[in-house]
Structure 1
Amino acid sequence: MSINYSNEKRQREFNNKSYFDKNVRSLTKRQVIWMQEYLSSNENIRFSSVGSTNRHEEFIAQLSSDDKFRDYVEDAYSKMTYKVIPDREFNWLINNLRGQIFTLSILYLENGYNWFDINSNDLMEEVYRFFDNKINENTIDSKISLLSKIERIWFSISSKDNYSKWISESNKEQIEWTKDYLRKTGIYNEIIRDKASLKEVRSHVLASLDIISYPLSEASINNSNKYVTNDRKEIIIDKMKRAWSQQKYRDAGKTKKSYHLPLTIQTHARLEKMAEVNRLSQTAMLDILINSEYNLKFLDVDGNEIY
């Protein structure tokens, strides 16, 4: 049912709002933000509260009394279809904090992207900002190609890693130890700040380990079955796991039972040297070596006996 107002301005606002309810309210927040920024740049329209929590209401409040409201909306929407990647292309990143961190890291390393807020509470918004920003003049096809490439890289790495199951989701001690270890070795990803929750810190730890593999060969990017962890990453992961085993050994303070193990002169000399370098007793050094080797070769990624 249409409503007629005697006041021309009120009638125009009502008609525009009706149009808005029918044609604009269905847009995503991301699309409305893009249209706001487009109109600000091209039509010199100032939106009163850039940080508004309800972008749709802000949009209509600012434009509802303007004679050209529909022209503005239709023009911005038309341009948007050639610039904004459809939401479906980002489905793999939604609720995937590890993937979001990895993506921003790749954009930083490969594209020099440093516009994002490292303290942001919503990293998905930061990913959108790169692909939607008006400064990014790439075609929509090239943007989709880049996003698709990052997706293939991430799945190649994450689907065959040997550390995500090793770092237990509920083991706070291990997660915090691993974060500290990676920081001390210069591997931890400091591009994006981690948050307080254990789940978020773990995602940052895993993303830091993921990025060690980058860059990948074209064959690995196009076929995840061809991905093989490079030697450098294997060495880093192996050292990390051994260091954790040593830490657990030191913390455990296990009661030891005496054994006599006859060793060759050369083996004993090597054991003695290794213990000296690590500032451990020979018994402690031998215990660490045996348990580290056992964990690596006789247990699966879930800690179950293989043999």
Structure 2
Amino acid sequence: MPGFDEDIHEVQETDSKVNNSLDTVDEILDEEFLKSIEIALEGYSDEDLIWISIDFLNFRENLKHGPKKSYHEINDLRHFSNFKDLKDNLIDQIKKLKSKENINNLFKEIKSSNNKISQTLIEIKENKRLCVFIFNYIKNSNHDFLQFEYHPNIYLHLAHWYFTDKENEYRKNHKINSAIKYFTDNIILKGEKYSKKVRDNHFVDWVYLYLKRIDDNFKMINYVPTCKNNYQLLTTTYLDYLNFYDKIQHENTINKLNKAWSQKKFREGGKVRKPHHLPLTKKTIEKLKKLSAFKNISESDMLEELIDQTFLKEMCDEHGKPKF
């Protein structure tokens, strides 16, 4: 472990100075051990904190008497917003070991480990859109139904997969590279037209609510955006993955989005509301009332929406411009 032999030596010197005084051990752990722990962990990357945390959980479990658990992953990963949170938690948990001997033994085990992260992942860690795609490409593509996961700390989850998946390093790296190739060839090169549209803030707000209303898979995503960038990234990455998982459904969804957006822009294009009396039959009026109640809008808005839809379908081109 980088710099850790020196730390252990300093701790051993401290042991001799305090003459095994139990009254001061907590103070020593706070002032001396905390510093040495932080220095030792600085020799490792953010990604290494994942396997170190898992090693710690198993080390602590082995100190117990009786039945023991075996940890292969961090079960509460969702509670950490970033690697700093993970590191702070790790340091706090190590401090609770109290025994200097146990802490020294833990770090000796850490130093002897030979875990390492994929260099490819490190190179793309700042590309959140790509990280979301890779994560879902690897984790969910074999399911019989579309399952899309979104985490704001997505790279943390991706690195966690890398260290906890049982496949060998070659196969894991192959999956990563396959995901990157697919993303580059089939999504970035062929789907930039839509991506540019998503950069429109007005469209971003609208499309999120629209997908929540019409798309059952999108409704199931367990995440609520908190800012404009999160709305944009969530909707873009969902449609990226939908493009990979089911091209027909993706195409249908994009067509629905474009048509509904064109209708919205058309309705907002300088229309002036004037009261009109339309001599509808009793049955038609009943249908209009039921339809407007189902859509939770007024009868006049429902009627206007139906007319707009028909006009756009029959009288306009794909861009919403009149053909005649």
Scaled to the shorter chain, the TM-score interval is 0.5 to 0.7
What RMSD, in angstroms, separates the aligned Cα atoms of the two structures? Answer: 4.2
1:23 — aligned with what? 40
Q: 1:36 to 1:281 in 2, by over 3 A?
A: closer
2:126 matched to 1:94? Answer: yes
Hey, what's the Cα distance between the residues in 1 that align with 2:309 and 2:241? 37
TM-score (norm 1): 0.62
Hey, what's the Cα distance between the residues in 2 that align with 1:235 and 1:75? 54
Q: Which stretches in structure 2 are left out of the alignment for 5+ residues?
A: 1-5, 64-75, 144-148, 273-302
TM-score (norm 2): 0.59
1:197-276 equivalent positions in 2, closer than 5 A? 197-215=227-245, 233-254=250-271
2:134 matched to 1:103? Answer: yes
From 13, 17, 37, give the equivalent of 1:6. Answer: 17
Deviation, 1:249, is 0.5
1:188 — aligned with what? 218
From 285, 292, 297, give the equivalent of 2:319. Answer: 292
1:75 — aligned with what? 109
Letter in 1 for 2:227: S
Hey, what's the Cα distance between the residues in 1 that align with 2:309 and 2:50? 64
Hey, what's the Cα distance between the residues in 2 that align with 1:111 and 1:287? 41
Deviation, 1:165, is 0.3
Deviation, 1:105, is 2.9
2:175 matched to 1:143? Answer: no
Hey, what's the Cα distance between the residues in 2 that align with 1:152 and 1:109? 17
Deviation, 1:35, is 1.6
Deviations 1:124-149 (A, max 9, x none): 3233332233xx32223322222232
Paired residues of 2:50 and 2:160 also in contact (CA < 8 A): no
Residue 142 of structure 1: SS of its match in structure 2? helix
Hey, what's the Cα distance between the residues in 2 that align with 1:282 and 1:119? 33
2:306 — aligned with what? 279
From 92, 95, 107, give the equivalent of 1:61. Answer: 95
2:208 matched to 1:179? Answer: yes
Hey, what's the Cα distance between the residues in 2 that align with 1:279 and 1:209? 27
Q: 1:111 to 1:40 in 2, by over 3 A?
A: farther
Deviation, 1:41, is 1.8
Letter in 1 for 2:266: Y
1:85 — aligned with what? 117
Q: 1:58 to 1:95 in 2, by over 3 A?
A: farther
Deviations 1:67-105 (A, max 9, x none): 2544432323433x33x4246624313252x33433343
Paired residues of 1:35 and 1:77 also in contact (CA < 8 A): no
Q: 1:66 to 1:129 in 2, by over 3 A?
A: same
Hey, what's the Cα distance between the residues in 2 that align with 1:159 and 1:71? 52
Q: Which stretches in structure 1 are left out of the alignment for 5+ residues?
A: 113-117, 217-229, 256-275, 296-307
Deviation, 1:248, is 0.8
Higher helix share: 2
Deviations 1:277-307 (A, max 9, x none): x832799448961472669xxxxxxxxxxxx
Paired residues of 2:53 and 2:90 also in contact (CA < 8 A): no
Aligned residues: 247
Residue 292 of structure 1: SS of its match in structure 2? coil
Percent identity between matched residues is 15
Deviations 1:176-234 (A, max 9, x none): 32223333044637334231212111111111211122149xxxxxxxxxxxxx56644
Paired residues of 1:167 and 1:175 also in contact (CA < 8 A): yes
